Amino acid sequence: MWAITRGGFNQKIFNLPKTLSRPLMATSNLIRVSSPSYSTSSPNHAPFKRVGTHNGSFHCDEALGCFMIRLTDKFSNSEIIRTRDPKVLEGLDAVLDVGGVYDPNHDRYDHHQKGFEEVFGHGFNTKLSSAGLVYKHFGKEIIAKELQLGEDHPDVHRLFLAIYKSFMEAIDAIDNGINQFDTDKPPKYVNNTHISSRVGRLNLDWTDPDQSPEKENEAFQRAMALAGSEFLESVRFHARSWLPARSIVMECIAERFDIDPSGEIMVLKRFCPDERGKQWRVQAVAASPDSFESRKPLPAQWRGLRDDELSKETRISGCVFVHMSGFIGGNQTYEGALVMARTALKM
């Protein structure tokens, strides 16, 4: 299938895929965190609830889980208590990533215990981390607030799945030690810029002379803020950009037989989104959402050519360029771009 669009083209869209309010207090095994209010709807009269997670070195999943659970009505403005003391944990309103219990009826969200195999469902089979558990049970509420819709609205469900796929699943997989690829070969390059790595680097350095619970807790606050801000960015991107663009793409897919009887050429007549230019683009659909390989790239003999040289080779006027990989090309007019797509399909 080919897509024709004016200006640029966003392949991700097309691929349908304050300060601390109170001082810190600590004992030998208990750190009480009076966290900044991250809630999207926090009634001022609501009593503080207490959410527990473990102290010591932290990971992205509990930092994000603590952030997300405070976005809910039930745990808005809750106090984060970091401890491994079972007696303390037992008395808390919710517990994440510690305690050896998964019981959503009692707001217990650990994933380390033997026999735990909970997954997100909806076609996703990655074992959940504490962040994934919180998202599974509270994600729709958080998204519904952002969209100002009811939790049962179809758009809320669409974003619920899309955000898990594009953001949450990787956090679950990394925390559970699940390889990204089904192969014994090492990756061709190392990526330590993802959110889980960046949160991990916020742990206290072993050379830091101050290893106090207070200092560790300050680092966890930064981890919550980092993971939480990226989560909210993902929610807002999907709500304000991905979802409107998806509607445009779905409409254009439905009309594709009006463009060409093959149904293999789709025309995006609106910006959806990216740079807005006067030229038209012909872009191949990727083999899969995360692949750089095209299902059917533009012909090899066109690749790397520009302007008059390309027009002469294709025998199509107005050609601008074809990328060396063949995934995209350009023409000065819609008619020229459509001819390029139709000609490429036949070659």
The number of beta carbons lying within 10 Å of the beta carbon of residue 206 is: 6
Confidence band (pLDDT; 50, 70, 90) for 268?
Answer: confident
* 22, pLDDT greater than 80: no
What average pLDDT score do residues 91-102 get?
97
Residue with tokens 């527990």: 52
What pLDDT score does 49 carry? 93
What average pLDDT score do residues 123-135 get?
96
**Distance, CA of 256 to CA of 262 (rounded, Å):** 9
* 40, pLDDT greater than 80: no
Query: Could you tell me if 119 and 127 are in contact, meaning their C-beta atoms sit under 8 angstroms apart?
Result: yes
The number of beta carbons lying within 10 Å of the beta carbon of residue 35 is: 20
Query: Could you tell me if 54 and 83 are in contact, meaning their C-beta atoms sit under 8 angstroms apart?
Result: yes
Could you tell me which residue, 193 or 17, shows the higher pLDDT? 193
Highest mean pLDDT among 13-17, 43-47, 106-110, 243-247: 106-110
What pLDDT score does 184 carry? 78
Radius of gyration of the chain (CA): 25
* 30, pLDDT greater than 90: no
* 5, pLDDT greater than 80: no
What pLDDT score does 251 carry? 83
Q: For the whole prediction, is pTM greater than 0.85?
A: no
Residue with tokens 């916020």: 202
Residues 6+ apart with CB under 8 A from 244: none
Question: 203-250, pLDDT tens digit by residue?
Answer: 999 888 888 889 999 999 999 999 999 999 999 999 998 888 888 888
What pLDDT score does 218 carry? 93
**Distance, CA of 95 to CA of 112 (rounded, Å):** 13
| Dihedral over Cα of 229, 235, 236, 238: its sign | positive
**Distance, CA of 265 to CA of 249 (rounded, Å):** 12
CA distances from 27 to 30, 82, 83, 213 (A): 5, 11, 10, 8
**107 phi, psi to nearest 5 deg:** 55, 50
* 42, pLDDT greater than 60: no
Percent over 70 (pLDDT), the chain: 84
CB-based contacts of 311-315 (< 8 A; 24+ apart in sequence): 314/340, 314/343
